[in-house]
Amino acid sequence: MEGRHLVPNPDLLAAALSHAARGWHVFPLRPDDKRPAFPDHSADDCTDRDPRCRNAGHHLGWEARATTDPDRIRRAWTARRYGIGLACGPSRLVVVDLDTPKNATTGPTGLDTLADLAARNGAGIDPTYTVTTGRGGTHLYYRHPDDGPPLRNTAGTLGPMVDTRAHGGYVVAAGSTVAGRPYVVDLDTDPAPLPGWLATLLAPAPLPPQRPVGVNLPTDRTGAYVRAAVAREVDRVTTAGKGERNRSLYIAAVALGQLVAGGALTEDNAQALLEQAGVDAGLRTAEAFRTVRSGLAAGAHRPRKVAA
């Protein structure tokens, strides 16, 4: 079956070009599959092997690779029978993904849930660009609001069987197949603006206030010593090569954890400084948080006192 995918499919190319002509950013999916074809590695596994990451100087995920450029689209889709991924963020789209329960008798469908929500907000579900998915679900395409916070993906936030895709998310676009089942345009019209009541329900929770990141240390010799140690460890993290960042963050956290245990620095301060260094180096916040916490805990077993 694999060889079949090497024969380009003019319908897939035409579909990818027509999506791009609407301003939608597309990227190749593995043939007959939901997963992106490129990159073939995660940010943490990124090495200089991938030419696009190498040229960019940093890891390029599918969202950054998505394009509306007809030449790039032609090159990709004349090489292989790729599916079409549609990156919602750069396309300024919010796609509401309505699923159906595996067993139709067990609960409401996504469409039931959405219709119910709309009614409670005194609204209906107006016509918009609609795709029927391979498994019989429905994708409703909306224009991302021009103002307000960028909306991200949600899963079940609106209710059962309803997910949404926006910044950081993608959908399988019409013209593709997944496991032999086609994604088909059900209503071909311009996407409607995302209804205000939906935008309100999907708005992200406000971020917690930023903790101050800075070292409050005495100006004496001890302070100078600790300040230098902190700068060295932060440097270790921010200058670490790709693939070494998480390990460097751990080593830095162990070192500062020893100073924390010795009383030279507060744990909150060390945690905030190193988390920030990890995020600056390109790690995800949650990952940086976990790594710093476990490094500080390990360092706490071997306290280091700074002599005054």
Q: Which residues bind Zn ion (CB under 5 A)?
A: 46, 50, 53, 59
Distance, CA of 43 to CA of 281 (rounded, Å): 12
Query: CB under 8 Å to 268, separation ≥6 — which residues?
Result: 211
Q: How far is Cα 129 from Cα 181, in angstroms, rounded to an integer?
A: 20
Smallest distance from the beta carbon of 30 to Zn ion, in angstroms? 17
Which among 220, 93, 195 has a CA at the least distance from the CA of 144?
93
Position 209, amino acid = P
Q: Are 32 and 5 in contact (CB under 8 A)?
A: yes
Residues 111 and 101 sit within 8 Å (Cβ to Cβ): no
Q: What angle do CA 201, 205, 207 make, to 5 degrees?
A: 160
Nearest distance from C-beta of residue 66 to Zn ion, angstroms: 15
- Other CB atoms closer than 10 Å to residue 7's CB: what's the count? 8
Q: Which CB sits closer to Zn ion, 143 or 242? A: 242
32 torsion bin: left (phi>0), alpha (psi -120 to 50), beta (else): left
Nearer to Zn ion, 39 or 90 (CB): 39
Nearest alpha carbon to residue 254 among 243, 231, 270, 239: 270
CB 87, min distance to Zn ion, A:
16
CB of 20 to Zn ion, least distance (A): 23
Q: How far is the CB of 274 from Zn ion (least distance, A)?
A: 24
CB closer to Zn ion out of 112 and 287? 287
Taking the complex as a whole, the smallest distance from the CB of residue 245 to Zn ion amounts, in Å, to: 13
With beta carbons less than 8 A apart as the criterion, state whether 37 and 84 touch: no
Indicate the residue among 55 and 105 with the shorter CB distance to Zn ion. 55
Dig out the tokens for 145 from the structure: 């609001």
- Which lies closer to Zn ion via its Cβ, residue 59 or residue 65? 59
Q: How far is the CB of 249 from Zn ion (least distance, A)?
A: 19
Identify whether the C-beta of residue 279 lies closer than 8 Å to the C-beta of residue 285: yes
Q: Which is nearer to Zn ion, 59 or 92 (CB)?
A: 59
* For Zn ion, the closer CB: 56 or 228: 56
**Cβ distance to Zn ion smaller for residue 50 or 112:** 50
Indicate the burial class of 283 (C-beta count within 10 angstroms; 0-12, 13-18, 19 or more).
buried
CB of 208 to Zn ion, least distance (A): 30
